[in-house]
Chains A and B, each alone.
Chain A
């Protein structure tokens, strides 16, 4: 079945450590996104990528980094520069034909900083 796989589902990090969240899709979608979800704040866009080897900052990119070396993969690194990284992280993808397509989401990764 086609879909988006995020791993790990739960992750604990000590302050000062970088962590990388994995996102893989087999939907053959061009565009991929990372969102952060905090209670009562909805989803906020961290980074997005329209094609391989290209990505743009979203609204809250500080303290995060991404890469897009393959169409299927869009990993997110939460760096030690991110001051409040505890959150639920969601990866999504979408076809790039026009702007009408809906987003497909993974099951999320919950990061907790100890």
Chain B
């Protein structure tokens, strides 16, 4: 069965510092991996995805994520955090066998302090 774990409920970082939001996954076959961001009382917005190829994926708003197959991880990173990055971040996985189900982690709240 597919699953996603986001081990941190909240991540606190100072503005200008690098940030990392962690994600590990379990899926049969090769994974398709996604990161989404949610602002209060809004829907989710797509940030980036890993399908195949280069393990470092670049996405919207300066975010990037690194796929590590041996560690089954897909951590979200940004070199310099902004206060406006404060939001709820979700990691998600889908298997590559033609499945239609996307499984989401519980979410990590990012708080960037000025």
Q: Which residues of A contact B (CB under 8 A)?
A: 4, 6, 31, 33, 35, 40-45, 48, 50, 56, 58, 88, 90, 92, 94, 96, 98-100, 102-108, 110
Size category, B interface: 20 to 34
Interchain CB contact under 8 A, A42 and B106: yes
- Within the complex, which residue of A45, A94, A96, A108 is in contact with B43, where a contact is CB–CB below 8 Å? A108
Interchain CB contact under 8 A, A103 and B96: no
Interchain CB contact under 8 A, A99 and B43: no
Q: Which residues of B contact A98 (CB under 8 A)?
A: 98
Q: Which residues of A contact B44 (CB under 8 A)?
A: 43, 90, 92, 103, 105
Give per-residue flags for B86-111: 1 if the beta carbon is below 8 A from chain A beta carbons, else 0: 00001010111111111111110000
Interchain CB contact under 8 A, A99 and B9: no
